[in-house]
Structures are given as C-alpha cells and as structure tokens.
Chains A and B, each alone.
Chain A
Amino acid sequence: MPTIQEDHQPAGASRRAVLTGAASAALIAVSPAARATMSEMDEAIAAFTKGAPIKQGGVKVDIPILLESGNSVPAVVSVESPMTLADHVVKVALFNEKNPLPQIAIFTFGPKSGRAWVSTRIRLSDSQKVVAVAQMSDGGFRMGMIEVIVTLPACAEER
C-alpha cells in the first residue's frame, strides 16, 4: 500500500502544478484588459450619486470575511432608516473594486418595503472591498463597506 501512495504523490503534485499554472494563466489572460480599477469603482459611485457628497456610516454590508469561493457569495445590505413616507431609503447600490465591472446591483426601495434590507448572492473575482451606497429620500447619500478575502475567485475556473 505505501508503494502505491508513493507512486501517486508525484503525479498529484504535477497535476496540481498544471492546474495552478492553468488557473494563473487564465487570470493573466483576463485581468489586464477586463478588470475594474479602484478609480473605476469611484467613477461608478460618482455616476450613481451624480457627484453628491457621501456620508460614512448607517449602511451595513454583511459578507463572510473569508470566502472559499467567489462564485456565490452571500451578501446582506441593511441601511438604518425608519422607512416612513418622509424618511426612507430610495436606492442602494453595491459596488466592488476588482471585478471586470464595478457595479454589482442597484436595489430600489420604497416606504412599503418596511425595511431597507436586501439579501442576495454575488460573484467576486478577487479579495477586495465591497461598497454599498444608499440614496435617502432627502437626497443624501450614505455608504458602508467591507473588505473580504477570496481564496478561489469567480471567473478563474471554467465550468
């Protein structure tokens, strides 16, 4: 039995080397052209707020900090708001730093939503920051963010 294991080990190691090599090759092939940069995220946020100032706080992005796979990441966004006709959250937009596109989703709420809360599943191509920006009914903007580590990114593997 030990001899069989010894026979298998080198094969396993080379297979891993080939796989990681292929994965990093795929990443290199994709990344330079199709990857949002920090400034692209800022641009996307500015496009959403139309340049209005953003206040920090009041927005919570809930994502597990360490992720094994970036393909289906549970993300919960909640905004502190009484959600009345006079004071409610109008929109919440999710942005990321390093995916090919800076936008993730834009959610529209109303006073009938009851709570400014949404849960979904997203893709993350790398360890990065995820930012949520909320537009309030008075025209103000608030933001919250989280930094996550992704060990196996989305986009890299072929299904």
Chain B
Amino acid sequence: MARALVNVPTKVKRGDVVEIKVLISHPMETGFRPDPNGKFYPRDILRSFACTYDSEHVFSAELFPAVSANPFLSFTVVANQTGVLTFSWTDDKDQTQVQTAKIEVE
C-alpha cells in the first residue's frame, strides 16, 4: 500500500518506557479540498492505526481527516519482554498494511 517507517529502539532495559515513532506515506485526502472544477477530491484517509506487542494491544488510534498527510504518530510502550511489535494501518477501502519490528530486552 505505502511506504512506512518505524523507529523502535533495538536494545532496551527491562521495564523501560520506550518511545516508538511511526510514519507512513499517505495523502490523507480530506474530502473537503476543492479541485479546479469546484468539486471536491474524494475522501481517502487512513482510518485506524494499531500497535500490538506480542499480540497484546498497547496503543491504537482512530484517525480523522484532520490528521496531516503522511500520518506521524509517536507513543510509548513498557518493554517487558523481548518480542515483536506489530503495526497496522487501515484505510477507507479497508486495506491494511502491516509492519513489524523486533524489540530486544536485556
């Protein structure tokens, strides 16, 4: 679907609160922007984002057209165990993009 960038610290101490940054390329067309003919460009946005840590929910977001193009999100998780973080974005056409990142706990 689109190019996504995920920034997760690779080695952390157990119990640390780590910051995670995600960025995905998407126009986030609001549906309120007029084209040269005075009609509106049809709405096309990413509706939701979710992050799971070893398939346990840690953070999710419901997005509206007021979120900028190429949505950027930064949030925190508690690093309790070495595992896999899974990030998924879903758009208006119900297409989902999934990205994973490993996190290693010392």
- A residues lining the B interface (CB < 8 Å): 26, 29-30, 34, 71-73, 96, 99-101, 103-110, 112-115, 117-124, 155, 158-159
What separation, in Å, do the CA atoms of A14 and B62 have in the docked complex?
44
Bound Cα distance from A105 to B61, whole angstroms: 7
7 A-B residue contacts at CB 8 Å? A29-B34, A103-B64, A107-B61, A108-B59, A108-B62, A112-B56, A120-B74
Closest to A93 in B: B62
**Which B residues, 38 to 95, have Cβ-Cβ distances below 8 Å to chain A?**
38, 53, 56-69, 71-78, 80
A94 and chain B: residue at smallest CB distance: B66
B30 at the interface (CB under 8 A from A): yes
- Name the 4 nearest CB pairs between A and B, nearest first: A114-B17, A119-B74, A121-B68, A114-B78
Question: Which B residues touch A155, using CB under 8 A?
Answer: 30, 32-33
List residues of chain B with CB within 8 A of the CB of A109: 59, 75
Distance A109 CA – B34 CA, assembled complex (angstroms): 36
Chain A residues with CB under 8 A of B61 = 105-108, 118, 120
Other-chain residue from B58, B63, B64, B69 in contact with A113 (beta carbon distance below 8 A): B58
Other-chain residue from A103, A107, A108, A115 in contact with B66 (beta carbon distance below 8 A): A103
- In the assembled complex, which residues on chain A have CB atoms less than 8 Å from the CB atom of B59? 107-110, 113, 118
**A105/B67 contact (C-beta < 8 A), A112-B78, A113-B78, A114-B78 known:** yes
The minimal Cβ–Cβ distance linking B83 to chain A, given in whole angstroms, is: 11
